[in-house]
A and B are shown apart, each in its own frame.
Chain A
Amino acid sequence: MTTTYTAPAPSAAWKPKGRLELVCPAGTPAAMRAAIEAGADSVYCGFADETNARNFPGLNFSPAEMAEGVAHAHKRGVKVLVAVNTFPRAGEPAAWHRAIDTIAECGGDAAIVADIGLLDYAAEKHPRLRLHLSVQAAAANPEAIGFYVERFGVKRVVLPRVLTVAEIAALNREIACETEVFVFGGLCVMAEGRCSLSSYATGCSPNMNGVCSPPSHITYAQERGEFVSRLGEFLINKVPGGQPMPYPTLCKGRFSANGETAHIFEDPASLDASLLIPPLADAGVTALKIEGRQRSRSYTDAVVRALRGALDAHARGLPIDSRPLMALSEGASTTRGAYQKTWR
């Protein structure tokens, strides 16, 4: 499959004016190559340790793989954004500092950082390294974003999934940096980087360990004709035997409150904001991000191609066909999340 998309030359400005940048997940070197083939403008990835928020077995990059990945991407005119977006452990910041140093050494195009102390380190030690504020910093208003821009020279903020399109448009009028928003994939219902639900149930935290509802703490069982999933000691969901069980992410579970049984926090739907690409572009957004570094290479290929098609259609003034993305959604149901106010 070919696309009409032509990647910008490495020497080009960060972003051709007026064109949305497609930022794609690269959980592994293979997924990075797939994303680049499928039309990514940028890929984002992390090191294989607790320094990034997708610290799952079999994922991520060694420093050598990162250097190779950056070289490969740059040959294709694609940027590499490297997430060092967990919060360094008190008393042991070395691994996080080393991750920042490695990005600078191997020519990564930006570091995606959440922690204030680490931003301070990066800005001080590598003043030429471009800094993006991770969604894990949950900076959701002009004052918070301004704090990071003024103190650390942050060039772009990845917005938490708590804002409506109208709020994003208003925000862009008030801030002095680019914005990147999630367009497709898993959906946090809590302000990112400000959630300890996973560590409450398992002891493993997104902020400290880079994991949420980790597979190592999940168990499945057949009980009285039903299929149940548990996270640590807590039952997250049960379905009649033979029916598919969604991955037991804590906040997508079924619980009981006030005498009712329901998805108290969020349904097991994934975010699909592809039909919102035109208003997001009008809102002044610079980049659209696809969630899913933990997903397979074939998924990466398919989701990047689908969104590349959507962005190219938008650029040509054509309607966006969201059907290719529907097939890729977890649980086959999607939401536009906080982008529409009724979600709240």
Chain B
Amino acid sequence: MVSVVNEMATNGADDARNTLTLGPLLFNWSPEQWRDYHHRIADEAPVERVCVGEVVCSKRLPFYEDDIPGVIERLQRGGKTVVLSSLALPTTARERGMIRDLVAMPGVVVEANDVSACGPLAGRPHAIGPLINVYNEGTLAFMEKQGAVLVCLPPELPLAAIGALAGAARTAVVETWAFGRAPLAISARCYHARVHGLAKDSCQFICNQDPDGLAVDTLEGKEFLSVNGVQTLSRTVVNHVADLGTLTARGVRAFRLSPHTCDMVAVAQVFRDVLDGAITGAEGEARIAALMPGAIFANGFLHGRPGHQRVAAAAG
């Protein structure tokens, strides 16, 4: 526990080291896929932190929860800091109890994805996930006072706000969304069930058919959104690999990669290479595009534009 806390705490705002975090897997993959993915990340991915846990739908958890302790151990053996991510919208008594289970696990940092987790986590080092609204210095300072050591900002924040927050952070590492479909909304209603004419309570886990989300198009066939159970994500894949220079110049030192079915070890390696100056941002973009054929990439939020848009990054 101490070493984990030290890793998080000493990696403060003044530390120049750039780090990568693999966010929690947001989709409903088979237990085998879930385990294989985490094992491969543990053994091969050049990332500092890995988030594990169910953020979107508590009904998915029983399929893989028995594998979680083994995965944590393997990730730690692989030198990764393990972050346990909490549920985004806990409502039932069982869901509310899940945070107590997370808080009780030794040797890990827990990431709050709903304010309900902030009370139980106060007074101990913890992380604040991107689904909690940290939009300004006042909120960031309050979260730091409560013990937050890692704060992943909401994906819709523009560069000016990100820079201001990275500059204002005193004890927490400020992290930004760097790769993957952006989480845009969370609801009590399950859209996967609704699209399939099912009720949420008897959903047949139909979201397992769409390991990167169910495509939602406009009536004229334009690609628009992705449905993932109770969550709605962007259809475009956020990709800030060519913006890393701009972000590090503003003081951002941690970047979140959100898992998809593409080769996430390779994605992480591209980000690592760009951060290390081994390849340019433009080369990084080309490599990411090759890893996700057919994907439409976007960075509009970062540039204060509609989130689905792509703005050409400055050279480098």
> Taking beta carbons and an 8 Å cutoff, which residues of A are in contact with B?
87-91, 93, 114-118, 120-121, 137, 139-144, 146-148, 150, 162-163, 167, 189-191, 193-197, 199-203, 205, 207-208, 232-238, 251, 254-258, 260-262, 264-266, 338, 341-344
**Cβ contact within 8 Å between A258 and B89:** no
- A-B CB proximity, top 5 nearest: A117-B138, A162-B188, A143-B116, A117-B139, A87-B135
**Cβ contact within 8 Å between A338 and B160:** no
User: Of B115, B156, B185, B215, which is within 8 A of A190 by CB?
Assistant: B185
B108-125: contact bitstring with A at CB < 8 Å (1 yes, 0 no)? 000000111111100000
User: Of A190, A199, A233, which is within 8 A of B232 by CB?
Assistant: A190
Contacts of B234 in A (CB 8 A): 200
A139-B115, A144-B116, A194-B131 known; A89+B195 contact, CB < 8 A: no
Interface flag for B282 (CB, 8 Å): no
User: Of B184, B193, B227, which is within 8 A of A200 by CB?
Assistant: B184
**Cβ contact within 8 Å between B161 and A91:** yes
B208-235: contact bitstring with A at CB < 8 Å (1 yes, 0 no)? 0000001111111110110100001010
**Cβ contact within 8 Å between B164 and A233:** no
A88-B138, A147-B118, A262-B195 known; A338+B217 contact, CB < 8 A: no
Contacts of A236 in B (CB 8 A): 218
Interface flag for B90 (CB, 8 Å): yes
Q: In the complex, A194→B116 CA distance in Å?
A: 14
Of the candidate stretches B240-248, B267-275, B304-312, the one touching chain A is B304-312
Q: In the complex, A285→B86 CA distance in Å?
A: 29
Contacts of A120 in B (CB 8 A): 138-139, 142
Q: Report the nearest B residue to A260, measured CB to CB.
A: B195
What's the nearest-Cβ distance from chain B to residue A202, in Å?
Answer: 6
Contacts of A208 in B (CB 8 A): 135, 156
**Cβ contact within 8 Å between A195 and B135:** no
Q: Is the interface of A mostly helix, strand, loop or mixed?
A: mixed
Pairs A–B under 8 Å by Cβ, sample size 10: A90-B157, A93-B138, A141-B90, A144-B114, A195-B185, A196-B184, A201-B307, A203-B305, A232-B306, A344-B190
B131-166: contact bitstring with A at CB < 8 Å (1 yes, 0 no)? 101111111111100000000001111001110110
**Cβ contact within 8 Å between A199 and B91:** no
Q: In the complex, A33→B266 CA distance in Å?
A: 62
What's the nearest-Cβ distance from chain A to residue B151, in Å?
Answer: 12
**Cβ contact within 8 Å between B218 and A255:** yes
Contacts of B186 in A (CB 8 A): 190-191, 194-195
Q: In the complex, A146→B119 CA distance in Å?
A: 8
**Cβ contact within 8 Å between B195 and A142:** no
User: Of B164, B196, B308, which is within 8 A of A258 by CB?
Assistant: B196
A144-B116, A191-B185, A194-B186 known; A87+B133 contact, CB < 8 A: yes
Interface flag for B96 (CB, 8 Å): yes
Q: Report the nearest A residue to B158, measured CB to CB.
A: A208
The interface centre, meaning the residue of B88, B160, B168, B217 with most chain A CB atoms within 10 A of its CB, is: B217
**Cβ contact within 8 Å between A197 and B184:** yes
Q: In the complex, A203→B302 CA distance in Å?
A: 10
Interface flag for B77 (CB, 8 Å): no
**Cβ contact within 8 Å between B116 and A87:** no
What's the nearest-Cβ distance from chain B to residue A56, in Å?
Answer: 19
**Cβ contact within 8 Å between A199 and B307:** yes
Contacts of B196 in A (CB 8 A): 258
The interface centre, meaning the residue of A88, A194, A201, A261 with most chain B CB atoms within 10 A of its CB, is: A194
What's the nearest-Cβ distance from chain B to residue A244, in Å?
Answer: 17
Contacts of B162 in A (CB 8 A): 90
The interface centre, meaning the residue of B91, B134, B140, B143 with most chain A CB atoms within 10 A of its CB, is: B91
**Cβ contact within 8 Å between B138 and A338:** no
Interface flag for B199 (CB, 8 Å): yes
Q: In the complex, A235→B164 CA distance in Å?
A: 35
User: Of A91, A189, A203, which is within 8 A of B300 by CB?
Assistant: A203
Q: In the complex, A117→B90 CA distance in Å?
A: 23
A167-B91, A196-B155, A234-B222 known; A115+B185 contact, CB < 8 A: no
Contacts of B187 in A (CB 8 A): 162, 189-191, 265
**Cβ contact within 8 Å between A234 and B118:** no
Q: In the complex, A142→B95 CA distance in Å?
A: 12
Contacts of B195 in A (CB 8 A): 257-258, 260, 262, 264
Contacts of B179 in A (CB 8 A): none
**Cβ contact within 8 Å between B119 and A191:** no
User: Of A117, A143, A163, A195, which is within 8 A of B142 by CB?
Assistant: A117
User: Of A115, A235, A257, A343, which is within 8 A of B135 by CB?
Assistant: A115
Q: In the complex, A256→B221 CA distance in Å?
A: 8
Interface flag for B191 (CB, 8 Å): yes
Q: Which of B284-312 contact A (CB under 8 A)?
A: 300-301, 304-308
**Cβ contact within 8 Å between A115 and B138:** yes
